[in-house]
Amino acid sequence: MSRKLYAIYKKLYRCFGRQHWWPADSPFEVMVGAILTQNTSWGNVEKAIGALKKEKLLSAGKLYRLAHRKIASLIRPAGYYNIKTKRLKSFLSFFLKNYQGSAKKMSLADIQKLRRQLLSVNGIGPETADSILLYALNKPVFVVDAYTKRVLCRHRLIKENEEYAQVQSLFMQHLKTDTRLFNEYHALLVKLGKEFCHKNKPLCQGCPLN
DNA sequence: GACCAGGCACATC
DNA sequence: GATGTGCATGGT
């Protein structure tokens, strides 16, 4: 399995090249994006983040003090804007209280402690937590998302509806613990999923893994 | 107009 | 533990 998973990675990398994830100007922008992209296309998230940047509000302190309705109106393009405003505030409260809104301070903490803390924040589940750990804080954690599961399922490497933790440990037990590798591998799976592994088309036509 | 998108919490059985 | 539902916009 180790050789197989690494062979898939090499093939994807040869085919698509570096993905330059996560597309953001700062760790804090990654954290916000990780919450906004929940069950939402990235294009819509970019619009929301663009609106926050335009108003110069992409800062933990400013955002935390901003009225709910103001945040909701700015992030509206990302959908679920009321619940995401609440989730952003929950995260910001945690981030400011525990790490003074500093990604650098946060990155000094123990990885398992960080993951437990993030998962205890309302609105942050395993994928959002791991996205923050890997793409904002450069921690070697493998991120599993809908594309990851679909691609693996289509290639019969996992069963349908496999649990998050199971899929994650498949990667983490069979690959070298390497932030760069985990970063690139997940991004490549998303790239592959977007291009060749659509939900309502069981045949992945043109998939380079076939 | 239907379907989908880089999830999560909560209710119910 | 499994299953169902609400949350919402914008692109195809």
- Work out the average pLDDT over A83-106: 98
* Measured CA A88 to C1' C8 distance, in angstroms: 16
- Nucleic strand B near CB of residue A183 (< 7 Å): no
Query: CA A82, CA A138: separation in Å to the nearest integer?
Result: 29
Residue A103 has pLDDT above 80, yes or no: yes
**Under 8 Å between Cβ of A182 and A140:** yes
Query: What's residue A138's pLDDT?
Result: 98
Q: Which backbone phi and psi does A86 adopt, to 5 degrees?
A: -65, -45
Q: Which two tokens stand for residue A149?
A: 């599961």
| Residue lying closest to nucleotide B9, CA to C1' | A123
Tens-digit pLDDT profile for residues A36-49: 999 999 999 999 99
- Nucleic strand B near CB of residue A90 (< 7 Å): no
What number does CATH give the domain A27-136?
Answer: 1.10.340.30
Could you say which nucleotides of strand C lie within 7 A of any protein CB atom?
3, 6-11
Residue A210 has pLDDT above 90, yes or no: no
Tens-digit pLDDT profile for residues A148-181: 999 999 999 999 899 999 999 999 999 999 999 9
> Which residues from the 124-143 window of protein chain A have CB within 7 angstroms of nucleic acid chain B?
124-129, 131, 135
Q: Which two tokens stand for residue A114?
A: 């960080």
- Work out the average pLDDT over A55-71: 98
DSSP labels, chain A: -HHHHHHHHHHHHHHH-----S--SSHHHHHHHHHHTTTS-HHHHHHHHHHHHHTT--SHHHHHHS-HHHHHHHSGGGS-HHHHHHHHHHHHHHHHHHHTT-HHHHHHS-HHHHHHHHHTSTT--HHHHHHIIIIIT--------HHHHHHHHHTTSS-TT--HHHHHHHHHHHS---HHHHHHHHHHHHHHHHHH--TT-SS-TT-TT-
* Measured CA A200 to C1' B4 distance, in angstroms: 9
Query: CA A62, CA A56: separation in Å to the nearest integer?
Result: 9
- Nucleic strand B near CB of residue A27 (< 7 Å): no
Question: Which nucleotide is closest to A135, CA to C1'?
Answer: B6
Query: What's residue A85's pLDDT?
Result: 98
Query: What's residue A12's pLDDT?
Result: 97
CA distances from A25 to A49, A53, A135 (A): 11, 11, 12
Confidence label for A203 from pLDDT (cuts 50, 70 and 90): confident
* Phi-psi map region of A136: left, alpha, beta (phi>0 left; psi -120 to 50 alpha): alpha
- Nucleic strand C near CB of residue A81 (< 7 Å): yes
Question: What is the share, in percent, of chain A residues with pLDDT greater than 90?
Answer: 93
Residue A2 has pLDDT above 90, yes or no: no
pTM (two decimals): 0.97
Question: Which nucleotide is closest to A38, CA to C1'?
Answer: B7
Question: Which nucleotide is closest to A40, CA to C1'?
Answer: B5
